[in-house]
Structure 1
Amino acid sequence: MISADRKNNLVPLLEQVRACTLCKAQLDPRPVIQASPEARLLIIGQAPGSKVHRSGIPWDDMSGDRLRQWLNLDKEIFYNPQKVAIVPAAFCYPGKGKQGDLPPPKLCFDTWHKRVLAELPNIELTLLIGQYAQALYLNTPSKTSLTENVANFAYYNKQALWPLPHPSPRNRHWIANNPWFEQSLVPQLQNALAKLALS
C-alpha cells in the first residue's frame, strides 16, 4: 500500500523533471520519464533518441521494440507507470555524435536520479541498459567492458540488477557475436520478470 505522502511527493517531482531546462544551452530539452510509486520494474537506459525526443514516449522506436521482445512485455504493461518505471541516465535527447548519439549529460543524473529513485519504494528488479547506465550503477573498475558486465549477470542478479546491452539496431553485431545473451540470459530474465507478475 502506497501512502498518500509518497504519491504526493512524486507528482510534483515529476513535474519539476519534465519542466527541467538545465541543459538548454547545449540541447533542446524535452525530458522523458515514466514513474509511479507502485512500479516494481525499473528500466535505466542512457538517454532518449531522436524519435523518442519527437514523440515524448520512452522507447518509442526500434530499440524499444527489441527491448520489449527481450522482456516479453507488451506495450500495455510496458507503458503502465504503476508497473514499470523508466528513468534514463539523462532525460533528454543529447544530440548526434560521430558514432551515434552523444553520451547522456551527467548533470541530469546528478540532479535528479537520487530524488526520483527515493520515491520508488517497490522496485524489485532493475535493468541497466547500456554502458552509461552500468557505469553509473555498477561498482566495477572503469575499464570493465559492457560484455563483461552482461556476462556477469548472475552476480548482479543477487542485487536485483540486470546489466543488458542496448537493444539498438547498431548493436546487432554484438548480439550476433554473443549468442549466449539471447540463448541464456534473456530466458532467465523473462523468468525473473514473470515472477513479478506484472501482467
Structure 2
Amino acid sequence: MRTELNALLSEIRACKLCESQLPLGANPVLRAHPKARLLVVGQAPGTRVHHSGIPWNDSSGIRLRHWLGIERERFYDERSVAIVPMGFCYPGTGSSGDLPPRPECSKTWHPKLLPLLPNIQLTLLIGHYAQAYFLGAERGRTLTDTVRDWQRYLPKYLPMPHPSPRNQLWLRSNPWFEADLVPVLRKRVADVLEGAEA
C-alpha cells in the first residue's frame, strides 16, 4: 500500500488539472502515509503555504497546533498525521476573501487517496467545505450548528471552525468552543496519536 500511495502522491503533486484557474499556478500541498492515524482536512493552502510547500505553515497552523495540543514536529510527522485539504492548491482571493477550494481536487483525488489511509482513527473537519464533503446531509444548518453538535459525529469525525486570525469574531461569539471542545479535542488527539506509538 505504501508503494501505491507514493505513486498516487507523485501523480497528485504533478497535477495541472485546473492550473489555468490558479493565480499562482499549480503547487499541490498535502501529506499522507499509510500509518497515519489522524487526518486533518482543511480548506486550501494560503499564499505562504503555496510558496513554502508546507501545509499549515502560517498563523492558522500555529493556532491549530495549539488547539490540538501537539508540537510542530509531531504535527508534521506524516506517519502520525495526514494533511489532505479539500483543495490542494492556492485558489486565489475574491471580493470577500479567499476563494473556495477548487472542486477538481476532491472529485478527482479524494476517492483514490482516502482509501489508501486505512489507519485513520479521527478526521478533523476544519471549516464548511470539509464538513459539507464528509458529513453531507448530516451536517447542521450552519457551521456553528455543526461544530456545536460535535458529539454526534464522533468517534470518526470532529468538526471545527477554521483557526485563521480572520475568524476572531466567531471565536469571541462562541467561547464554548475553546472552553469546552478544545480540551476534548486534545484528549482525543492524544489518545489517537498514542496508538501510533504502540
Q: Secondary structure at the residue paired with 1:140?
A: helix
**CA drift at 1:100:** 1.5
Q: What letter matches 2:102 in structure 1?
A: P
1:165 paired to 2:161? yes
Unaligned runs of 5+ in 2: none
Structure 2 CA distance for aligned equivalents of residues 87 and 142 of structure 1: 20
TM value normalised by structure 1? 0.94
- Superposed CA RMSD in Å reads 1.3
Corresponding pairs, count: 193
1:135 paired to 2:120? no
Structure 2 CA distance for aligned equivalents of residues 18 and 111 of structure 1: 13
Q: What letter matches 1:162 in structure 2?
A: L
TM value normalised by structure 2? 0.94
**CA drift at 1:139:** 2.7
Unaligned runs of 5+ in 1: 1-5
Task: Report what 2:117 is aligned to.
Answer: 120
Distance 1:141 1:122, change over 3 A: closer
CA contact (8 A) 2:139 2:146 kept: no
1:23 paired to 2:13? no
Distance 1:65 1:164, change over 3 A: same
Task: Report what 2:9 is aligned to.
Answer: 14
Distance 1:113 1:195, change over 3 A: same
CA contact (8 A) 2:92 2:99 kept: yes
**CA drift at 1:175:** 0.3
Q: Secondary structure at the residue paired with 2:125?
A: strand
Percent identity between matched residues is 52
Task: Report what 1:180 is aligned to.
Answer: 176
Q: Secondary structure at the residue paired with 2:8?
A: helix
Task: Report what 1:99 is aligned to.
Answer: 96
CA contact (8 A) 2:140 2:146 kept: no
Task: Report what 1:65 is aligned to.
Answer: 62
Stretch deviating more after TM superposition (167-176 or 137-146): 137-146
Q: Secondary structure at the residue paired with 2:158?
A: strand
1:89 paired to 2:86? yes
2:189 to 162, 186, 193: 193
Structure 2 CA distance for aligned equivalents of residues 134 and 192 of structure 1: 19
Structure 1 CA distance for aligned equivalents of residues 132 and 145 of structure 2: 12
CA contact (8 A) 2:131 2:139 kept: no
Q: What letter matches 1:125 in structure 2?
A: L
Q: What letter matches 2:7 in structure 1?
A: P
Structure 2 CA distance for aligned equivalents of residues 41 and 194 of structure 1: 10
* 1:31-82: CA deviation from partner (whole Å, max 9, x where unpaired): 0010000000000001001110111000000000000000001111000100
Structure 1 CA distance for aligned equivalents of residues 49 and 55 of structure 2: 6
Task: Report what 2:151 is aligned to.
Answer: 154
Which one has the bigger helix percentage? 2
Q: Secondary structure at the residue paired with 1:91?
A: coil
The runs of at least 4 consecutive aligned structure 1 residues that moved more than 6 Å come to none
